[in-house]
């Protein structure tokens, strides 16, 4: 059984939301008891309405935790909480404003960032209008300013969290030297494309590129020159392939392209065109750049490992042929 810290982020979020909603329902139950003792019966009624809403949301999200359907239930839940708080705001302005101060943190937790921002802006306008009518301008201005500052703080925290997540994902998936995807992501993406190709009856092809004499290039020009060359090399390849194709750096001198919806003829044409363009270009400080290129197309029921093995075997054969031709020409 997977533990919580071993789950992917997209599977952890619904479980976390279900747990938080259950805890909030329990906290509201304790709050109802305290409000009943103080004689705040209208607040008891409004909180009693929100408790089953939280419990229903927690149960629904947990049942649909492995599907995207859990997202929609957060919108009516947020609308219910905001509506109850604004409805009680004229009678209990100080108490309800403190309830509304929790809305920014709650919305950025359970809604997409853009939707949460628009929701909080709407709540700020409605809160200012209600306080302006039932209290006075200064009270409305003070509470709206405090609410707006809280929204800005919650937005900054949410934005920084998204940046951190995106940065960690980029570090986990990409090769830091060349900018291409790394070996670990290659197997995951290739299996996904193979499964998609089987479902849509489309071909999946691979193109392998080996930088010949890679170690010799390092000895002649230095490791720093080669490391500066690799990002330019990957960018040039990306300009020559389709937008749906992906680039992976599998080893120091090995780059593999995954070509979804590409048959054998299309892969061969793309391979020859790419090889010609790369060898025609000047790659300073190198006097010349020699590469070995091979292409394979997945056969029916061929696995990821066997497809990669067949590509590497073809690349080795291509390199031996190139060495023999070079020796013959000399």
Is residue 146 situated within a structural domain?
yes
247-277 in b/e form (b: 16+ CB < 10 A) is bbbbeebbbbbbbbbbeeebbeebbeebbee
Q: Is residue 178 part of a domain?
A: no
Tens-of-pLDDT digits for all 330 residues of the chain? 334 444 455 567 788 888 888 998 898 888 888 888 888 877 787 778 888 888 888 888 888 777 666 678 889 989 988 998 888 888 888 888 888 888 898 898 888 889 999 999 999 999 999 999 888 888 889 989 999 999 999 999 989 888 887 777 777 788 888 889 988 889 888 988 888 888 888 889 999 999 888 888 888 888 888 889 999 999 999 999 888 899 999 988 899 999 999 888 999 999 999 888 988 888 888 877 888 899 999 988 888 889 989 999 988 888 777 666 555 555
Measured distance CA(277)–CA(240) in Å, rounded? 8
DSSP secondary structure string for all residues of 213-278: THHHHHHHH-HHHHHHHHHHHHHHHHHHS-TT-EEEE-SSSEEEEEEET--HHHHHHHHHHHHHHH
**pLDDT for res 36:** 84
Residues 124 and 238 in one domain: no
CA distances from 264 to 46, 113, 208, 303, 319 (A): 65, 43, 14, 17, 21
Taking a C-beta distance cutoff of 8 angstroms, is the pair 208, 268 a contact? no
Q: What is the pLDDT at residue 7?
A: 47
Same domain for 27 and 140, yes or no, is: yes
Q: Pairing state of beta strands 291-297 and 246-249?
A: unpaired
Q: What is the pLDDT of residue 35?
A: 81
Q: Residue 152 has what pLDDT?
A: 93
Same domain membership, residue 226 and residue 146: no
Judgement on whether residues 166 and 203 belong to the same structural domain of the protein: no
Report the CATH number that the domain containing residue 318 is assigned in CATH: 3.30.70.270
Contact 107, 120 (CB under 8 A): yes
- Which residue segment(s) compose the domain that 210 sits in? 183-329
d(CA 242, CA 256): 14
Domain count for the chain? 2
pTM exceeds 0.75: no
């Amino acid at each position: 059984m997977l533990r919580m810290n071993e789950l992917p982020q997209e599977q952890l979020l619904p479980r976390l939301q279900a747990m938080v909603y259950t805890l909030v329902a329990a906290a509201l139950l304790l709050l109802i008891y305290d409000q009943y003792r103080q004689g705040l019966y209208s607040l008891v009624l409004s909180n009693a309405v929100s408790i089953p809403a939280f419990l229903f949301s927690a149960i629904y999200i947990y049942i649909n935790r492995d599907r995207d359907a859990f997202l929609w239930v957060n919108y009516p839940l947020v609308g219910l909480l905001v509506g109850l708080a604004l409805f009680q705001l004229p009678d209990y302005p100080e108490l309800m404003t403190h309830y509304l101060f929790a809305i920014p943190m709650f919305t950025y937790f359970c809604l997409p960032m853009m939707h949460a921002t628009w929701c909080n802006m709407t709540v700020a306008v409605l809160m200012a209008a209600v306080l302006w009518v039932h209290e006075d301008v200064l009270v409305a201005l003070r509470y709206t300013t405090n609410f707006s500052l809280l929204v800005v703080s919650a937005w900054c925290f949410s934005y920084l969290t998204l940046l951190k997540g995106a940065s960690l994902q980029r570090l986990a998936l990409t090769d830091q030297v060349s900018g291409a995807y790394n070996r670990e992501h290659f197997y995951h993406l290739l299996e996904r494309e193979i499964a998609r190709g089987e479902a849509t009856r489309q071909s999946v092809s691979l193109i392998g590129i080996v930088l010949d004499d890679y170690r010799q290039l390092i000895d002649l020009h230095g490791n720093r020159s080669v490391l500066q060359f690799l990002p330019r090399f990957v960018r040039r390849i990306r300009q020559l392939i389709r937008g749906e194709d992906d680039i992976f750096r599998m080893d120091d001198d090995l780059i593999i392209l995954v070509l979804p919806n590409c048959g054998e003829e299309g892969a061969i044409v793309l391979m020859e065109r790419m090889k010609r363009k790369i060898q025609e270009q000047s790659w300073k400080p190198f006097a010349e750049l020699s590469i070995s290129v091979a292409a394979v197309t997945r056969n029916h029921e061929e696995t990821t490992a066997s497809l990669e093995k067949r590509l590497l075997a073809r690349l080795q054969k291509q390199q031996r042929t190139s060495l023999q031709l070079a020796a013959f020409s000399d």
